[in-house]
Amino acid sequence: MKVSDLVALDVRFPTSVTQAGSDAVHTDPDYSAAYAIVRTDAGDGVEGHGLTFTIGRGTEVCVAAIEALKPFVVGRDVDDIVGDWRAFSLSLTNDSQLRWIGPEKGAIHLAGAAVINALWDLHAKREKKPLWKVLADMSPRQLVDVVDFRYITDALSPDEALDLLESRAPTRAEREAELLRDGYPAYVTSVGWIGYDDATIERLCGEAMADGWSAMKMKVGQGIDDDVRRARLLRALLGPENRLMMDANQKWDVDEAIASIGRLAPFDPYWMEEPTSPDDVLGHKAIAHAVAPVRLATGEHAHNRVMFKQFFQAGAIGFCQLDACRLAGVNEVLAVLLMAAKFGVPVCPHAGGVGLCEYVQHISAFDHIAVSGSLDDRMVEYAGHLHEHFVDPVEVRGGRYVLPAAPGYSVQMQPASLAEFSFPHGTYWAS
Amino acid sequence: MKVSDLVALDVRFPTSVTQAGSDAVHTDPDYSAAYAIVRTDAGDGVEGHGLTFTIGRGTEVCVAAIEALKPFVVGRDVDDIVGDWRAFSLSLTNDSQLRWIGPEKGAIHLAGAAVINALWDLHAKREKKPLWKVLADMSPRQLVDVVDFRYITDALSPDEALDLLESRAPTRAEREAELLRDGYPAYVTSVGWIGYDDATIERLCGEAMADGWSAMKMKVGQGIDDDVRRARLLRALLGPENRLMMDANQKWDVDEAIASIGRLAPFDPYWMEEPTSPDDVLGHKAIAHAVAPVRLATGEHAHNRVMFKQFFQAGAIGFCQLDACRLAGVNEVLAVLLMAAKFGVPVCPHAGGVGLCEYVQHISAFDHIAVSGSLDDRMVEYAGHLHEHFVDPVEVRGGRYVLPAAPGYSVQMQPASLAEFSFPHGTYWAS
């Protein structure tokens, strides 16, 4: 069975109209996806679907980058890809010419994520399992063989990774049963977008608590006095026992972050997210030391395993918020999960956007079953937007994700949604 | 005067045929450019030309990214841009939607560099000065106002930058006269590409020494025994008094770099360049401590000022090799020059490729005149490829760059070269 085609689509949802998703830096996001479809010559109609999340303008650049990867995928034997995931990943992330426009960052890396995830989706569908189960059924050795260890061996060697996975293997079944029974804990982001007024926040917060949510995130960074006012409002609504996360979306410089977090600390943030540039490992370290015991979280813009390695080595973050499609797909996510487990940093993946919740439910379930073996301080982000566009949307019940059962990696969109929101010629954008 | 058009071109030279430019990681580069032309409604035929350097595949992704910047440039008043360079730069590097596919890295940042540099080229041509002279004639306050200080104020405040520039201002004229008289010191890279056999290296090395070169770079990283053999050859050819730089092009993991540099240290490398991942600040720091007194150099893949800030703060590098079109053009280069001066790290810009020598001669001349005020440990890279395609090619005499005199930023290509090497429809590629 060979890959017969790789199709790249530009899909944009007009979320800026309602300010859903707005934050201090991304003031008008149109949640979008550079979307990849892998087809084969098997004649069974099974396709692999993957996407990388974007927020409007620039999606077309990622689509061009997916097109650039086409020669590395089309014509490849699917069993060869599945038989050596590491080599396949390297062929996309370390091509001798394409790497120059990264390396391992920016549009080309985002495109690699969409394509690599599409191949994992195809594989999981052929196995007739949800992706988390495909991974949870792989042996420690098979999992280690997926990972590209270039540049991280000073933090985690393949042998250490193997030992870690083997130590969790005997008890995988217990944790799988636990998650199938109870679901995976989650928190909700869609109550506190920065473009929402107080009345909207109050209403959404009340609705969320009624639905069983006990952890919520608010956006900060649009002016510290306003941030403090909103934090006071949210904390009053939530009471002292519920968790309130705060997210500055990279708005502050280092010294400004330290001062701002000092003002917000009385409202007991469970974490302070993206206080400054996502590239600034040393800046996060300085902030973390200054604001302890408030813990920092970052990761949605950390572009590869080398960045996470340094955040872990520096003790700069208390929570790892890896992104399933900014890292180069399942392969690089696995590298980061393994390092996080070694360094004892809980992984609470970035979600929301479009398709991210669908993705990361698989990642966190697998992490618990086979890698970290713990739910302490771990929650998956949830935002209630755009799930209706997916064939197998996430299901959340009582503030927890219900483990997905459908085969694949869950980001396949409804054909009608692709037709309506393809940019610029879909029916929505053309009209 | 308004910008009436921004044209993006994909230009590729088939350098992989001769292995010119080959290294341990980039084994078959076709030196290329995503090329931007800014036109105005002035009717005087003056255009701004800028490029970002690429190595073949993926250039089309950067061209798509330049196209994505078109709405931020076309229709803008040129005097408004020149009157607030910082705001213009921010409009390209921090757009609320486009930044998601970076932020400030990868294809979109490379594209920003091409466009920002094209505007500086236009401005310099209108001023009828070479770019270095435009910058050298700006006041300290005007220069500070160009810089985007977001995320670097913990290392360098605007006031510190102003003080630094003012301290050099009274003696600018002396250094300008010195450079006009003597040129700027350089070293040559084009003798030691990894794809060259020993006989070729011996011949090119001999020719270079005859031409007055006393500093040369070799590529390493294709196997330590082979690296040692080649290092021995080069050191024997150069004698003990000449400088031999070594460049591993990101080939090694941290521990491997320490071991390899240990093997190469007896051949007295003037610096060891790109020993590992360009994202790995902490890795460079660990290597630097382990291999001292050998000094590390990096920067051609350091994507923004936040990365350089950390390299400086960590004491991880002995030489700063900023790239004129990986950083977001003149503006971000200026930020890095200022930080390098504060931290006392000499700037030896990355060049070679296509157009990079043309660019960086301006950067280093300005750095000496107005920022660092020193030539100690400072050299501009030189490679003898592809200069014939430029309207105002670099001139090198006795191992030194002759300061450019023609107005602009020197990367405007000959129309015939654009016609021949445009990809895929230029006459070379079509045939």
pLDDT digits 0-9 by tens, A393-428 = 999 999 999 999 999 999 999 999 999 999 999 999
Residue A232 reports pLDDT greater than 80:
yes
| Closest CA in chain A for residue B16 | A97
Residue B20 reports pLDDT greater than 80:
no
Q: Which domain holds residue A196?
A: 170-414
A151 in B contact zone (CB under 8 Å):
yes
For A253, the closest of B62, B102, B153 (CB atoms) is B153
pLDDT exceeding 70 applies to what percent of chain B? Answer: 100
Cα distances (Å, whole numbers) of residue B411 to B6, B360, B394:
16, 10, 10
**Max intra-chain CA distance, chain A:** 61
At A24 the pLDDT is: 82
At B22 the pLDDT is: 82
CB contact under 8 A, A150 and B253: yes
How large is the average pLDDT for residues A344-372? 98
Residues B193, B65, single domain; the answer is no
> In this structure, are residues A214 and A237 in contact, taking their beta carbons and an 8 Å threshold?
no
Distance from CA of B233 to the nearest CA of A (A): 27
Residue B196 reports pLDDT greater than 90:
no
Residues B290, B324, single domain; the answer is yes
For A61, the closest of B26, B68, B277 (CB atoms) is B68
Residues B304, B180, single domain; the answer is yes
* Residue partners of A199: CB distance under 8 A and separation at least 6: none
For A106, the closest of B54, B97, B105 (CB atoms) is B105
| Closest CA in chain A for residue B28 | A96
Residues A390, A426, single domain; the answer is no
Residues A184, A101, single domain; the answer is no
A152 CB neighbours in chain B (<8 A) are 253
How large is the average pLDDT for residues A167-192? 95
Beta-carbon-side half-sphere exposure of residue A126 (alpha carbons within 13 Å): 19
Please report how the helices B329-343 and B305-313 are oriented relative to each other, as an axis angle in degrees rounded to 10: 10
Q: What is the mean pLDDT of chain B?
A: 96
Where would I find the H helices in A239-280?
254-264
How large is the average pLDDT for residues B57-65? 98
Residue B137 reports pLDDT greater than 80:
yes
A70 in B contact zone (CB under 8 Å):
no
Per DSSP, the three-state class of A41 is coil
At B85 the pLDDT is: 98
pLDDT digits 0-9 by tens, A29-49 = 999 999 999 999 999 999 999
At A90 the pLDDT is: 98
A60 in B contact zone (CB under 8 Å):
yes
Please report how the helices B106-127 and B59-69 are oriented relative to each other, as an axis angle in degrees rounded to 10: 60
Q: What is the mean pLDDT of chain A?
A: 96
Which residue is catalytic, options A284, A285, A309, A350? Answer: A350
Residue A22 reports pLDDT greater than 90:
no
**Max intra-chain CA distance, chain B:** 61
Where does the pLDDT of residue A21 fall: very low under 50, low under 70, confident under 90, or very high at 90 and above?
Answer: confident
CATH number reported for the structural domain that contains residue B424 in this entry:
3.30.390.10
Residues B231, B326, single domain; the answer is yes
Residues A118, A225, single domain; the answer is no
Give the CA-trace dihedral at B359, B365, B368, B372, to 10 degrees: -20
Asked if residue B94 belongs to a domain, the reply is yes
> Token pair of B33, please?
């450019």
> In this structure, are residues B124 and B134 in contact, taking their beta carbons and an 8 Å threshold?
yes
Asked if residue A328 belongs to a domain, the reply is yes
Nearest alpha carbon to residue B148 among B331, B283, B6: B331
Point out which residues pair with A217 in neighbouring strands.
A245
Active site residue A219: yes
Phi/psi of residue A218, nearest 5 degrees: -120, 155
Rounded-to-integer distance, Cα A425 and Cα B304, Å: 35
At B19 the pLDDT is: 78
Which residues in chain B (7-46) have CB-CB distances under 8 A to chain A? 25-30
Residue B222 reports pLDDT greater than 80:
yes
The DSSP output letter for B157 is -
Residue A249 reports pLDDT greater than 90:
yes
> Token pair of A102, please?
């990264």
A159 in B contact zone (CB under 8 Å):
no
At A60 the pLDDT is: 98
How large is the average pLDDT for residues A215-219? 94
CB contact under 8 A, A30 and B97: yes
Residues B121, B175, single domain; the answer is no
pLDDT digits 0-9 by tens, B319-337 = 999 999 999 999 999 999 9
Chain pair A-B, CB pairs under 8 angstroms: 197
Q: How many domains does chain A have?
A: 2
pLDDT digits 0-9 by tens, A254-297 = 999 999 999 999 999 999 999 999 999 999 999 999 999 999 99
Per DSSP, the three-state class of B76 is coil
CB contact under 8 A, B310 and A282: yes
CATH number reported for the structural domain that contains residue B289 in this entry:
3.20.20.120
Residues B370, B239, single domain; the answer is yes
> In this structure, are residues A38 and A122 in contact, taking their beta carbons and an 8 Å threshold?
yes
Which residue is catalytic, options A109, A123, A129, A219? Answer: A219
A98 CB neighbours in chain B (<8 A) are 57-58
A250 in B contact zone (CB under 8 Å):
yes
Rounded-to-integer distance, Cα B298 and Cα B4, Å: 38
Asked if residue A158 belongs to a domain, the reply is no
For B106, the closest of A29, A105, A306 (CB atoms) is A105
B90 in A contact zone (CB under 8 Å):
no
Rounded-to-integer distance, Cα A112 and Cα A103, Å: 12
At A18 the pLDDT is: 83
> In this structure, are residues B293 and B320 in contact, taking their beta carbons and an 8 Å threshold?
no
At A25 the pLDDT is: 87
Rounded-to-integer distance, Cα A194 and Cα A82, Å: 43
The DSSP output letter for B294 is S
Residue B239 reports pLDDT greater than 80:
yes
| Closest CA in chain A for residue B325 | A101
Point out which residues pair with B397 in neighbouring strands.
B400
| Closest CA in chain B for residue A314 | B282
Residues A219, A337, single domain; the answer is yes
Beta-carbon-side half-sphere exposure of residue A90 (alpha carbons within 13 Å): 11
Residue A123 reports pLDDT greater than 80:
yes
Residues B116, B179, single domain; the answer is no
pLDDT digits 0-9 by tens, B69-110 = 999 999 999 999 999 999 999 999 999 999 999 999 999 999
CB contact under 8 A, A154 and B254: yes
Rounded-to-integer distance, Cα B426 and Cα B431, Å: 9
